[in-house]
Structure 1
């Protein structure tokens, strides 16, 4: 009994390590071109995915059999040499008893199945982010409905133990194909249901495709093909969104439907045309040599449901804690808003910055936060969900959009007060990367204020920026009388796009005297400006934080805005001061590795007597 448990635990540990590497390596490689917005040559490190193949080549095989290397490997092995000898003896019996599958088809299908699993099910929140829409009909939140993804994956594996006829297999493949299309083209709950059906299908075919894969007569060729297919699909996924920064990207622009279609086709061909033998067939052959192996399925099922139960419990506890934090904003007339591009939760050294980001955001005391470049729900960025994590950590209402399947870099909105409604927009982008925007209404304890947040395309795409400025100015013009704009517009103050927003959007700049800006801007209409601050990034991102404080007037038709700038905080009431934790007024850039006010801020606004 103990050797069997040891084997199950060993394989679980090795599987965890393996999938952790599949998660971690792509964002580690992608981090460097992310900084330069171009290929750097470091993409060649994707060859690490082929490391299992290296062991079957002469030099690497001799290295792996070196006595010192073997001694090191033995220290890391959960099992022992006896297991290795028994596995070797069973190998011939397995090869004789299990029908062989062609290495090329099996390799492509298995590599595609691996990528599909990582791409769409690498994190429980991914399906929700593919299906998301604006408030109030957002679709399922990642928590608690991410638990349905765990259950779908687990039930898919259970379903794989059934016996399948040719007709039922074909019908099941059609269901899987339809669910993949539904995830791409349906919306909110319909897309989420399709995604969960796809989760069942994906795990259901894993044992059969794995059985085909391990029974190939040429394991080296099969493994090489699988890794080649995996890496090729991973790079194509990058090309679909980052098409502007890579060679030949125009041909892959927004082509996730082609990628998903190819993957499903490869999986379907292997699933339907392969021998009706799956991984359990190999287990049955092995069981003739090892009687205890007959019990392995039951232990795997037990361990699987144990993991699922722990996952569901964790999600439930997180959800309960999050719900307790929501709605704790006190009624007030004043509010603060901030904008920050934070490069998908990676700092300037390539490490995750979520913990540091939460601390920074909490210290700003901002009531409304928009974070640009926040869609990390992609395999090459890490398949994580900063929106869910920061929302739970800070106790803020959240909005995420547009959908991950829309190929933007994403916008996150965090609000201390409830979001009444929101609409996700794809701005005109005929030449460059797809530009996202969100328009929303927030309820500040009975007082409604509109927000428009946007991320324009790159400086080089003049036509895109012109059309995007026109589109956003229309959003501002049609918003309510009280609106705040927080945008990343890649244009200088006084430029064509800046003027378009000010004049046709009918808004004012928070500080028209600040000419040393390029990307981030705060504009407003129908509220009273109280303060303006810029806080250095301190290496947590490549961009600073910008903040503004506003007051909601009691009478919209008769209020007077503040028109005088002061830098001495003693001249304004203490309750509108920015957090002194960031220091005091500072001219020029702050180059110290700390978060500090800089660029001639903070500034406060008073009414001129």
Structure 2
């Protein structure tokens, strides 16, 4: 009976602490504890846990007192749980007990170090508590005595606890990022429910303690629960060996996807610098190495030497040791060839055992989800890629070391076949299987290797009307996991024509629609592709590996080139035939998948082979390894959710010189975030933008969401690091090389334009309206067509001139124009039609980058050398924002001579000056160049502080968020 009271003590003390603090807080400080950084009562009317327990006296003291009293019962409960579950030769009880004690310490940590005391420490301790709750919960379920009632309650409460995390994170993002009134109150309800589920889960222990009281008292004589049937969430008999096997399979799957996805970005470096086909593109064919398995001798050697093959595949991770881009590419190519060959060999060799084959396929599939999770945590860069190293955020050495350990564990079992047997079935259906493999590989790689890819497919600018990469990527990962588990549990449903029809519908919606509707299609295709992994890959493993995987990878390469050709049509032979036909790419992918589904649906269920010995047939029962992989999938998703919380923007978005009403604007062509030496350049770009104190910057050549660029997004990293709003610009399905806008000022509205391009590549443009010190300022970011395409550049100059002339607000153009100053199309951009002025007409050294403006006081201009980051300099200009429309009009009426008169640096205020850091020789290869020093212009501030309040009364912020300005829609259309 005494044992029954311990869980009640463990439950009653925390409940008294939390609920007591809630009652006292609401009674004494209600309006204070419901107020957050954005809203107060009545928008927010229920307090969060942190505000209740950590902000005020006496509720804080009351809470800490009862939590301290609960430490004894909780520690005793953990100890007693260990006593009734331990048994000889088992380590899981010790592990679970250790997690329980650590969890208790973390509880004490975030209880006594509140968010008011130290916000970061409080968050770390709180997150650690949540992470430790996972092994504690799953371990308790696995070790539960055979009591159906207790097991049922534990499963329900655990499911409710972890299921609550999803809506809780969602509403936290709605509050923190979107500043939705009332969202924090909804978040608070989910947060409080976690407390109740957590306490209730531990209270269930009462049932087990009451039935095992005698066994607990007689520890030395009892079997300590020996003979319990643990048919629960985890394996019937947990062992560290099987857990390590699962971890090795998943991590080695992660290595495969990391190596494969790095090939495209390293190959891309060479045509990028050659401005055309370089010859190095041939290395994409390294993926077809499984064709070697058509030879019996090679197949036998491969099956017998799988460890050597898998270790050789780690060359793709070790390539970062090589500084020379060409040699690094060849190392990656060799690693990819070995990775494809070794995985095809292993899957073929394991096909004799359903359990072992399924386990390997699950590891390979979960490796993709883990890769997407890691890329999300590193803001779309994979830390083990060969374009990463220690200086730009890489964890290459750690990844390689773990890769070696994973391979050694992954290959520790003897192969089930020798490879010397007669050829596996090589009938006509193997070709259909190869088609299915090709469609699956291409879909997984092009759409799911990064969770932000499809979000950017449906992105249409501001106001935000759809998902955001940093806050909704977890939805993509969740649907990937759901799809994988569905395909595991119901493979015939996943491979049915009904599922195929749903997948086709999802692909169509993703291709044709935008915003949330388009993203619903994205989630459908994500779940469908992952659901096909187990049935299609397992089916392919039982065919000829040379055909199913060798031909499959060859067709996959054709699809990769196809989806590159649709945007690179100006640089490749035959490119105009597939110009801008992403819909054809999606249709081809679904047709290939249809071939695989046809083969699956026409193949009868495979009976278990009667020739295998018992140890070969069932080293792990399917239900066991499925539970291990299911728990791993849950853990990966929790890690993704925690990464989402850590990535929630917390910047105040303040401009650098707000006291001077200054905008510092820049334009930079960033060469797809690969520097001259083939290293990822985001960190170096961030440093220069930050040190140049840019408030607004247009970036060009930024669309990296394709296989050849690694499915990356530099703008996420820069926006979060620099504390800026971001518009990605036209998405990856709009067939441009990319244009993006980063701004310290709120982006009220933005429209995307694809300018006329009848001959050459599409020219992207962004037209954004910013709230700058209470005035509406338009910013245009634009990338013109190539020099060779004169008609394109003529039509584009006319389009942009009209677009810029359509606004009477102050405006800035940050652009890549491909024209000489004062000549040709320059006189359309700078004209009476556009109303724009050149930032410095006397600068005759330009060819590509230009900054134009109107209605602003231009006060400084500089050109900063690029170092080895890219092939184009950074151009920067400073403007003072007039306090009223009348002052802007007066500026426009000033003569050219007055407008362009220059003065010495000492004649302008301190806040107007560019950083001295880059004078002379500068730093890190960056310096003011061409005219050596920045230029300053004689234009007084004018206006008056009393005029600042006019601001948005001319055209208010509310007018933009409502979508109408003077009766005109502002959402914009895509210009084709």
Per-residue displacement from partner, 1:176-209 (whole Å, max 9, x unpaired)?
1011011111011111111011111111111111
Separation in 1 of the partners of 2:475 and 2:305?
Answer: 47
Give the Cα–Cα distance (whole angstroms) in 2 for the partners of residues 175 and 599 of structure 1: 58
**Partners of 1:377 and 1:404 within 8 A in 2:** yes
Residue matched to 2:70: none
1:186 alignment partner in structure 2: 513
- The counterpart of 2:468, out of the listed 127, 137, 141, is 141
Matched, 1:518 2:850: no
Listed as ranges, the gaps of 5+ residues in structure 2 are 1-238, 313-402, 941-976
SS in 2 for 1:408: coil
- Paired with 1:30 and 1:104, the residues of 2 have a C-alpha distance of 30
2:458 to 104, 107, 131: 131
- 1:330-351 deviation per Cα after TM superposition (whole angstroms, max 9, x unaligned): 4642111000000111111111
> Which of 396, 409, 414 pairs up with 1:84?
414
- With the length of structure 2 as denominator, give the TM-score of the two structures: 0.58
The aligned residue for residue 638 of structure 2 is 309
Q: Distance in 2 between matches of 1:167 and 1:355?
A: 42
Aligned partner of residue 227 in structure 1, secondary structure: helix
Which structure 2 residues correspond to residues 142-541 of structure 1 after superposition, within 5 A?
Answer: 142-163=469-490, 169-216=496-543, 218-275=544-601, 289-294=617-622, 295-319=624-648, 322-326=649-653, 330=658, 332-503=660-831, 504-541=833-870
Quickly say closer, same or farther: Cα 1:541–1:71, change in 2 above 3 A.
closer
Q: Deviations over 1:472-531 (max 9, x none)?
A: 001110023311111101111122211011112111100000111000000111111100
Instruction: Give distance in 2, aligned partners of 1:328 and 1:602.
Output: 21
For residues 223 and 364 of structure 1, the distance between their equivalents in structure 2, rounded to whole angstroms, comes to 51
> Which structure has greater strand proportion?
1
Distance across 1 between alignment mates of 2:465 and 2:260:
30
Over 3 Å counting, the alpha-carbon distance change for 1:174 and 1:556 in structure 2 is same
Ranked by relative contact order (alpha carbons within 8 Å, sequence separation 6 or more), the top structure is: 1
Contact map agreement 2:661 2:773 (CA 8 A) in 1:
no
Instruction: Give a deviation string over 1:245-272, Cα, whole Å, max 9, x none.
Output: 0111111111111111011111123224
TM-score by length of structure 1 reads 0.91
1:402-444 Cα offsets, whole Å, 9 max, x none, are 1210100111100001001011000000000011001011101
Q: CA deviation at 1:395?
A: 0.9
Query: Does the aligned pair in 1 maintain the 2:487–2:534 contact within 8 Å?
Result: yes
Q: How far does residue 452 in structure 1 lie from its aligned partner after superposition? A: 1.2
Task: Quote the Cα distance in structure 2 between the aligned partners of 1:276 and 1:313.
Answer: 43
Larger deviation: 415-424 or 309-318?
Answer: 309-318
| Structure 1 counterpart of 2:928, from 558, 582, 597 | 597
Q: Does the CA contact (< 8 Å) of 1:529 and 1:605 recur in 2?
A: yes
Q: 1:173 to 1:393 in 2, by over 3 A?
A: same
8 Å CA contact retained: 1:452, 1:475:
no
Assess if the C-alpha contact under 8 Å between 2:297 and 2:420 holds in 1. no
Deviations 1:211-256 (A, max 9, x none): 221111x211222111101111111111110000011111111111
Within the candidate set 871, 875, 882, 1:546 is matched to 875
1:10 corresponds to which residue? 248
**C-alpha distance in 2 between matches for 1:122 and 1:223:** 20
SS in 1 for 2:928: coil
Measured on the aligned residues, the alpha-carbon RMSD in Å equals 3.2
Question: 1:581 matched to which residue of 2?
Answer: 917
Residues 444 and 208 of structure 1: is their aligned pair in 2 closer, same or farther, counting only changes over 3 Å? Answer: same
Structure 1 position 458, deviation (Å): 0.1
| Counterpart secondary structure, 2:929 | coil
Greater Cα radius of gyration, structure 1 or 2 = 2
1:427–1:474 CA distance, 2 compared to 1 (3 A): same
Q: Is the deviation greater in 222-231 or in 135-144?
A: 135-144
Aligned residues: 597
**Runs of 5+ in structure 1 lacking a partner?**
none
Q: Does the residue aligned with 1:531 lie in a helix, a strand or coil? A: strand
Candidates 600, 606, 609, aligned match of 2:938: 606
Kindly state the Cα deviation for residue 50 of structure 1 after the two structures are TM-superposed: 2.2
Cα separation, 1, equivalents of 2:627 and 2:609: 13
Shift of 1:101: 7.9
Q: Which moved more, 1:453-462 or 1:45-54?
A: 45-54
Determine which structure has the larger helix proportion and give its number.
2
Asked if 1 retains the 8 angstrom alpha-carbon contact of 2:818 and 2:848, the reply is yes
Shift of 1:315: 1.5
Q: Look up the SS of the partner of 1:556 in the other structure.
A: helix
